[in-house]
Homo-oligomer: A and B are copies of this chain.
Amino acid sequence: MKQKRATVTFQPEGIIVEVPLGETILTATKKAGIILTIPCGGHGRCGKCKVLINKGQNSLKGDFHTKTLTLKEIEDGYRLACQTKVEGDLEIFIPGESRVISQKILSDSLPVKMEIAPVIIRQQLTIPQPEEHSNMADIDRLLVEIKKTFPHQQIIIPYENLQKLPKILRKKNWNITLTYQKTSTTKLEILEIQAGQANGSILGLAIDIGTTTIAASLIDLETGERVQTASCVNSQMLAGEDIITRIHYASANFSNLIRLQNFVIKDINNLIKSFDCKPRQIKALTLAANTVMTHLFFGIDPSYIWREPYTPAVSQFPTIQADRLGIKIHPLSKVRALPCVSSYVGGDIIGDILVSGLHQKDKPSIIVDIGTNGEIVLGCRSWLLSCSVPAGPALEGAEAKCGMRATMGAIERVTINPETLEPTFNIISAEKPLGICGSGLIDLIAELFQAGTLTKAGRFTVRDHSRIRKGVHGLEYLVANKEETITQQDIVLTERDISNLLRTKGAFYAGYVTLLKSFNLTFQDVDTFYVAGGFGDSINAKNARTIGLYPDIPLEKIKSIGNGALGGAGLTLLSEKFIDTAKRIAKSLTNIELSKNYDFMDEYTLASFIPHTHLDYFPTVQKLIETGGIKY
Contact = CB atoms under 8 A, between A and B. Distances in A.
A74 interface: no
Nearest to A320: B159
Contacts of A137: 311-315, 340
A329 to B, nearest CB: 17
B130 A300 contact: no
Interface in A533-586: none
A314 B160 CA distance: 12
Given A163-B300, A166-B313, A167-B301, 20 more contacts: A130-B309, A132-B308, A132-B309, A135-B311, A136-B311, A137-B311, A137-B315, A137-B340, A138-B304, A138-B313, A138-B314, A139-B315, A159-B320, A163-B257, A163-B298, A163-B299, A165-B313, A166-B301, A166-B303, A166-B311
Given A135-B310, A309-B135, A313-B137, A318 B165 contact: no
B300 A165 contact: yes
A158 interface: yes
A185 to B, nearest CB: 14
A162 B298 contact: yes
Contact of A159 (B130, B324, B340): B324
6 nearest interchain CB pairs? A137-B315, A135-B309, A166-B301, A137-B312, A130-B311, A138-B313
A342 interface: yes
A130 B303 CA distance: 14
* Residues of A contacting B: mostly: loop
A310 B424 CA distance: 82
A4 interface: no
A536 to B, nearest CB: 29
Contacts of A34: none
A139 B339 CA distance: 13
9 contacts: A135-B342, A137-B313, A159-B318, A162-B314, A163-B257, A165-B301, A165-B313, A167-B301, A170-B304
B309 A167 contact: no
A298 B140 CA distance: 17
A254 interface: yes
A131 interface: yes
A164 B342 contact: no
A52 B130 CA distance: 49
A480 to B, nearest CB: 47
Q: Of A257, A298, A299, A318, which is in contact with the most chain B CB atoms at under 10 Å from its CB?
A: A318
A167 B138 CA distance: 47
Contacts of A315: 136-137, 139-140
Interface in A106-140: 130-132, 134-140
A157 interface: yes
Contacts of A131: 309
A219 B538 CA distance: 67
Interface of A: 130-132, 134-141, 157-159, 162-167, 170, 254, 257, 298-301, 303-304, 308-316, 318, 320, 324, 340, 342-343
A131 B311 CA distance: 9
Contacts of A158: 318
A172 to B, nearest CB: 16
A324 B298 CA distance: 19
A308 B135 CA distance: 9
A309 B138 CA distance: 11
B313 A162 contact: yes
B132 A300 contact: no
Contacts of A162: 298, 300, 313-314, 318
Contacts of A320: 159
A163 to B, nearest CB: 5
A174 to B, nearest CB: 12
A158 to B, nearest CB: 7
A164 B132 contact: no
A158 B310 CA distance: 23
A536 B163 CA distance: 35
Contacts of A141: 311
A312 B301 CA distance: 45
A252 B235 CA distance: 45
Contacts of A318: 157-159, 162
Nearest to A141: B311
Contacts of A167: 301, 303
Contacts of A310: 135
A166 B303 CA distance: 8
Nearest to A135: B309
A271 B312 CA distance: 42
Contacts of A301: 163-167
A251 to B, nearest CB: 9
Q: Of A136, A158, A162, A316, which is in contact with the most chain B CB atoms at under 10 Å from its CB?
A: A162
A446 to B, nearest CB: 39
Q: Of A130, A158, A311, which is in contact with the most chain B CB atoms at under 10 Å from its CB?
A: A311
Contacts of A254: 163-164
Q: Of A140, A166, A343, which is in contact with the most chain B CB atoms at under 10 Å from its CB?
A: A166
A313 B138 CA distance: 5
B163 A311 contact: no
A205 B141 CA distance: 32
A304 B257 contact: no
